[in-house]
Amino acid sequence: MCSSFKHTLLYFCIFLVVVGDCAAQSKRIESQFRIARLKYSGGGDWYNDPSAEVNLLKFAQQNAGIDTDPKYEFVEISNDNFTSYPFIFMTGHGNVVFTDFESRRLRTYLENGGFLYIDDDYGMDKAIRREMKKVFPEYDLVELPNSYGLYSCLYQFPNGIPKTHEHDNKPPQGFGLFHQGRLIVYYTYETNPSDGWVDADVHNNPPEKREEALRFGTNIIVWSLTQ
């Protein structure tokens, strides 16, 4: 066998190994649990605290055994890959606006197994309630009782939502939209758990408060996966 042919064969074998490894890695990543941050219009800072999801996914992987892909990703409802994410996270301050197309597409996503978690970082409540009525005019956001399964599916929260961040001295509340008995939208108000997910030096939350928030966020993930 000539030397040049041996080299060609060697390179071809290396190519097959590399391609096979990349394909396996790609398949693994596609099967991992991912969260996408929702980029929306209206002026609200949808992009704030980008370390939140990364830290939550790492915590869920290390403490709940969930195979996650812990990186920051954002998506718009109009993107082709929007429906590829099982869990969409939405937060910020202030206004939110969905177009008619976005409202219809978000509805289709949620009716077909998707999950949306909204965390009011302060000032979103009016806009969230208005825009969710565009998506589901026939449904109302209903407050979930402390006995609801999300609050005990992994970590125990017998008093319901923990208070992570103070806004207006109001009690923390969790609201849901249901479709055919399944929680498709979960909305937290006057608590801001995602503030507790971010890197420790951002909001200077004490370690026990961050741990509590990360445990609560893991419950949200677990509940979304088991419904």
Helix axes 125-135, 100-111, angle to 10 degrees: 80
Farthest-apart Cα atoms in the chain, separation:
81
Q: Over pLDDT 90: what percentage of the chain?
A: 81
Which pLDDT belongs to residue 13? 40
Domain segments of the chain as ranges: 1-31, 33-226
Measured CA to CA, the distance from residue 115 to residue 111 in angstroms comes to: 9
Among 89-103, 109-123, 138-152, 159-173, the range scoring the smallest mean pLDDT is 159-173
Given phi > 0 = left and psi -120 to 50 = alpha, else beta, which region is 132?
alpha
Q: What is the mean pLDDT of the chain?
A: 89
What is the reported pTM? 0.86
| Average pLDDT of the residues in 58-63 | 98
Q: How many CB atoms lie within 10 A of CB 36?
A: 21
| Average pLDDT of the residues in 77-84 | 97
| Average pLDDT of the residues in 164-180 | 92
CA 215 → CA 6, 60, 135, distances in Å?
56, 8, 30
**H/E element holding 160?**
none
Confidence of residue 169 (pLDDT cuts 50, 70, 90): confident
Class of domain 33-226: alpha beta
Measured CA to CA, the distance from residue 138 to residue 107 in angstroms comes to: 12
Which residues 6+ apart lie within 8 Å of 134 measured at CB? Answer: 98, 100, 103
Q: Over pLDDT 70: what percentage of the chain?
A: 87
Which pLDDT belongs to residue 205? 87
pLDDT digits (tens, 9 = 90+) for 17-57: 333 443 333 344 457 999 999 999 999 999 999 999 999 99
Which pLDDT belongs to residue 1? 52
